Every structure is written in C-alpha cells, then in structure tokens.
Amino acid sequence: MNKPLRRIAIFCGLLILTLLIRDNWLQYVKANELATDDNNRRVNIARYSIPRGNIIVDGKPITGSVENESGDFKYKRTWVNGPMWAPVTGYSSQAFGANQLEKLEDGILTGNDDRLFFRNTLDMLTGKEREGGSVVTTLNAAAQKAAYEGLGNKKGAVAAIEPSTGKILALVSTPSYDPSKFAGTSGDDEKAWNAVQKKNNADDPMLNRALREVYPPGSTFKVVTAAAALENGVVSGIDDKTKTPDPYELPGTRTDLTNQHGECKNATLRYALMVSCNTVFAKLADSVTNEKMIEQAEKFGYNNKELDTPVRAAESIYPEDNRPQNAMDGIGQASNRATPLQMAMVVAAIANNGTLMKPYMVDQIKTASLDTIETTDPEELSQAVSPETAQKLQQMMESVVNEPQGTGGKAKIENATVGGKTGTAQHGLNNSEKPYAWFISYAKVGDSAPVAVAVVVEDGAANRDDISGGGLAGPIARDVMKAVIDSKK
C-alpha cells in the first residue's frame, strides 16, 4: 500500500475509533444523565404513555389519569379535590415538571423504579403493559377535610401528627391551588400556571405554609421554655411561685416587658401558661440561658436543616442571641421562627411522654398489583424531655383548656382530654402588621393520644383586636382532633 492510501486508511480508522468511543460514552457513561434530562422529550413521552400510579389516602386514590385527545402525551394527571390535597401530593405537569410526592416518588408512580424491575420483567414476558405503582400515605381524610374547611378563605396552615408513630395525619396550606389545571401542555394550562406564581399572585398559593413557611411561634413556644426550665432545674413544681416581677425589665436594658392578661406577678408556672404571662417565660428563658434554650429547642426538632417527610421541611430556628433577645426568643418572638410542622412536633413529643418521633407521610410503596415493596417504620428522633417533665407539661396544657381562666377553652372535646396552648405572634417592624393566631394541642382518649395539632392563621381580614390563637385557631384544631378521634371509633 502506498503512503497516501496508508494515511487515508489510518485517518478513517481513527474516525471509526472516535465514533465507537463516542457511541459507548453516550450509551453507557451518559445514559442515565440523558435519560433524566428535562429536554429529552422521549423520556416524557414514555412517562405519560401509561396511566400514572396513584397516591392513596385511607385506601382510596386521591389522584387519577385521563387520556388526552391529541398530542404526544397519551395520559395526564388528575386529582380528587386538588386544592385540598396539593400540599400533600404537589403537582405533576407535562409542561412544568413536578414537586413534592409527585416528584420524589416519580419512579414508582411511572413504573420505572428499580424496585419494580421484577414485576416489569414478568409483565414484559406476558405481554402486559407496564403499570405505575402506588404511594400509600399516612394521611387521615377526615382530618384533612376538617383542617381545609376550617381554614376556609383564611391564609394559614395546619399540621397534625400521630404522637406515638410520627405519622402525619393532616397537612393543609391555604390559599391553595388545583394542580389539575396545569397538568397538561395547552395554553389554558400555561395561563393557570402563571396565575398561581408568586410574581403574579401576592397570596403565593403554591407556598406550602405547613412545611416551608416559618413564623414567629408566639406564646405557643412557652411550652418549650417551660420544658427547658423544668429540665434544667430552674423551677421544680408547676405550682411553685416563680418570683417574677410585673413588669419585667429585659436583662441589660431599660425596656419593660408587660402582660396582656392575668395577675402575673410571682405567678406559678401552671398559671403563667394558663393566662400566657410574657414576664414569667421571658425571665425563665434568661435564667435557663441561651445555650440551654438552644439545646432544649433542638431536642424538639429546631435547627434541623434535613428534616424530610419525605418532602423537605424548612429549618425552624432558635438562634444564638444576646440576653434581652434570648428572653424575647423564649416567648416566641425576636428571631425565633418555626414551621407549623415543627410546633406540631413539639406538642406531639409532650403528648408522647417526651419522646419525639420523626414525622412522615408515606406509609407504604406498592406495586400496581398491590404487593408491598416498602413500609416505613416509625423512627425516634430524640427524647425531648423526661416522662416526668412531659406529664407536668400535659397538666399545664390541660389547665389552659379546662380552667375558666385558661385561653384555650374553645378546643374542648366531649369524652376526650385536650391540652393546648394559644399564641398571638407579633410580626412586622415594631409590630406594625396584624399578628398571627396560633394554637397547638393534643387530644387523649383514655391513655392514648391519637393526635397532636398545630394551627396558624394569617387572617388579614380580621380586626386586629379580634385576632387570637384561642379564637381563630383553636376551633380549627378542635375540629381536626375530633375528626381523628371519630375516625378511629
């Protein structure tokens, strides 16, 4: 072979080798990345070529699929009462992607998860079409409905937990949105999507306030301060005098902290929680110290950046602060911030005799034929307080609901023992905005505590003087607890 032909042959050989390397690189090294690329239309065509598996509540699907009349995507997602369930499921859109359970469990719902390999192989051999699996939630439909209807047209959120397991029983955020309205790719879907974006809608209906919004918890946090005082020996008995002045001068300042209700001077811990004495709990937070307050708050779940339900919850924060700020943090103000889920965790731990269980809302993963692939086991997060301290806190919280002077009387339930704590949290510069109304509570039937609830209401329509945790949030918590109790009968 002459030299020019040899050079051409070598050059062609190098080209073929390069093509083979490139082909193998794409098929093996880059395969997974290309298969999951949002711009790979074939992936989405395959994803929507079969009916999507369902998300289940109380044995019934709250989702479905309908066949499109035209286009490359054969099926699109539907929801039963979408606005009520959107804070749980999230959305699954052919045009805008997915979030929350719809995204986290996409592999199961589309039938592509590796855990379905054996089932999919059998279906392929028998000629059966691939089917999506099911996600069985821990949610209680009656509790979810009570929370959603209780909030109504008010802005706010509800989180309810089963204290003994950590199962999330209700998760509601209002205002909400209907994910069915933008599940497809039409112009109407695009309009519906744009209408719920924060830049176009100041109410931000796509914000999951139960999991992703943090608020000053206000006086509901006083149960944590009481726990810290009892655990650290600052006080011993809940009926012992606390030696608190009224007003109380914040440490290191000339600023007096006052109270709105009751005779708080030298009040007992029980009475101070019952009428919500600011002075008592600010002084206790200072006596406990910022370091120990942080330690106690973290035992209840604060300052946790990786709390997955499996949807990631925003971090609730008890901060490192100076003495006067720490005193205000101790009454749920200053830089203290919490999600509704976090405050539900606080009261759930108290109701569970001090043991905090990790909250979760996926109970089981099943195949299309209802074979169980995976079951979530309850997991202990911490021993937030001793059983003795938890029982003292329960006595105090039950006084809030049952005693005539208590602020939580509207949460009473016949044939159940209810413990609660109200909160009216200031916000805005110099308390210029309307306060948030909070209520946290648990209900016991006999020795069992089947439910713990946190409710926050941002009611901009109410008169400022009419906003209170007991008045606005308490009845919602009561209805959610009653729904759980009734569903177990």
Task: List pLDDT tens digits, range 43-57.
Answer: 777 777 889 999 999
pLDDT digits (tens, 9 = 90+) for 74-112: 899 999 999 999 999 999 999 999 999 999 999 999 988
Q: pLDDT at position 434, please?
A: 67
Q: pLDDT at position 466, please?
A: 37
**Would you place residue 37 in the very low, low, confident or very high pLDDT band (cuts 50, 70, 90)?**
low
Residue 22 has pLDDT above 90, yes or no: no
Q: Of 65, 134, 180, 219, which residue is the catalytic one? A: 219
pLDDT digits (tens, 9 = 90+) for 108-162: 999 888 887 666 666 666 666 778 899 999 999 999 999 999 999 999 999 999 9
**Does a structural domain hold residue 304?**
yes
**Would you place residue 419 in the very low, low, confident or very high pLDDT band (cuts 50, 70, 90)?**
very high
- Domain with 479, as residue range(s), is 211-362+381-487
Mean pLDDT of 314-324: 98
- CA–CA separation, 114 and 18 (whole Å): 32
Mean pLDDT value across the chain: 90
**Does a structural domain hold residue 237?**
yes
Residue 340 has pLDDT above 50, yes or no: yes
Q: Are strands 362-366 and 355-357 parallel, antiparallel or unpaired?
A: unpaired
Contact 89, 177 (CB under 8 A): no
Q: pLDDT at position 175, please?
A: 97
Contact 381, 301 (CB under 8 A): yes
Contact 365, 115 (CB under 8 A): yes
- CA–CA separation, 433 and 454 (whole Å): 22
Number of domains in the chain: 1
- CA–CA separation, 422 and 436 (whole Å): 11
**Residue 271 neighbours by CB under 8 Å, 6+ apart:** 262, 277, 405
What pTM was computed for the model?
Answer: 0.90
Instruction: Name which of 105-119, 169-183, 324-338, 463-477 the model is least confident about.
Output: 463-477
Mean pLDDT of 199-218: 97
Q: pLDDT at position 428, please?
A: 47
Tell me which residue has tokens 């105090």.
Answer: 396
Please, what is the angle between helix 474-487 and helix 141-151, to 10°? 160
**Does a structural domain hold residue 400?**
yes
Q: pLDDT at position 8, please?
A: 74
Q: pLDDT at position 68, please?
A: 83
Indicate the DSSP class of residue 153: T
**Does a structural domain hold residue 29?**
no
Residue 315 has pLDDT above 90, yes or no: yes
- CA–CA separation, 151 and 461 (whole Å): 13
Residue 25 has pLDDT above 90, yes or no: no
40: left (phi > 0), else alpha (psi -120 to 50), else beta?
beta
78 vs 434, residue with greater confidence: 78
**Does a structural domain hold residue 287?**
yes
**Does a structural domain hold residue 275?**
yes
Contact 174, 93 (CB under 8 A): no
pLDDT digits (tens, 9 = 90+) for 300-313: 999 999 999 999 99
151: left (phi > 0), else alpha (psi -120 to 50), else beta?
alpha
What DSSP element (H or E) covers 456? Answer: strand 448-458
**Does a structural domain hold residue 114?**
no
- Start-to-end C-alpha separation, the chain: 93
> Is there a catalytic annotation at residue 219?
yes
CA angle in degrees (0–180, nearest 5) for 5-9-12: 135
- CA–CA separation, 184 and 237 (whole Å): 61
Residue 174 has pLDDT above 90, yes or no: yes
pLDDT digits (tens, 9 = 90+) for 261-296: 889 999 999 999 999 999 999 999 999 999 999 999
What DSSP element (H or E) covers 270? Answer: helix 269-275
Q: pLDDT at position 463, please?
A: 39
- Tell me the HSE value of 423 on the side-chain side, using a 13 A CA sphere: 34
pLDDT digits (tens, 9 = 90+) for 176-198: 999 999 999 999 999 999 999 99
- Domain of 420: which CATH number? 3.40.710.10
**Does a structural domain hold residue 48?**
no
Residue 461 has pLDDT above 60, yes or no: no
